[in-house]
Amino acid sequence: MVTIILLLSCDFWAVKNVTGRLMVGLRWWNHIDEDGKSHWVFESRKASPQESKTVSEAESRIFWLGLIACPVLWVIFAFSALFSFRLKWLAVVTMGVVLQGANLYGYIRCKVGSRKNLTSMATSYLGKQFLRQNAGDDQTS
């Protein structure tokens, strides 16, 4: 039981800190400021021409498939342990669901946040272009 929990913790750390950054360019963490308030940070790598070389579509699919499949598998284990009345294994299964679910949640927030940032940047750019065009029209008349 202890070995499984230690391996789950190592997997959580590796996926959160290494694999996600290298395979899909996403990273998330929590930091606490001077006032003691907790702040969650969700980052995505800026799109660049080199990114297509460093992040392949196949690696990205493997990462997301594994990230989604693992919590589903742990939930199946949880129901199995619950319905077979093996409550001593429920603690291990709960840790698996929590750690794998936290990684899935963090990376989904990173992915959704990167799309929101992209949308807000595009809206901001179009707004600036519109204002520039209108300001140019006002000066010509």
Instruction: Please tell me the predicted confidence (pLDDT) of residue 93.
Output: 92
Model confidence over 71-99: pLDDT tens digits? Answer: 999 999 999 998 998 888 888 999 999 99
4 within 8 A of 89, measured Cβ to Cβ? no
Instruction: Please tell me the predicted confidence (pLDDT) of residue 134.
Output: 56
Which residues is 60 bridged to in the sheet? none
Residue-range domain boundaries for the chain:
2-140
Q: What is the pTM of this model?
A: 0.67
Query: Which is more confident, 72 or 21?
Result: 72
Radius of gyration (C-alpha) of the chain in whole angstroms: 22
Query: Which is more confident, 38 or 56?
Result: 38
| Length of the chain counted residue by residue | 141
| Cα–Cα distance measured from residue 28 to residue 62, given in angstroms and rounded to the nearest whole number | 19
Reported as a pLDDT band with limits 50, 70 and 90, residue 21 is: confident
Angle at which helices 90-140 and 57-83 cross, to 10° = 140
Q: Considering the chain, what percentage of its residues have pLDDT values greater than 70?
A: 73
Instruction: Please tell me the predicted confidence (pLDDT) of residue 119.
Output: 47
Query: Which of 28, 10, 25 shows the shortest CA–CA distance to 60?
Result: 25
Angle at which helices 2-14 and 90-140 cross, to 10° = 10
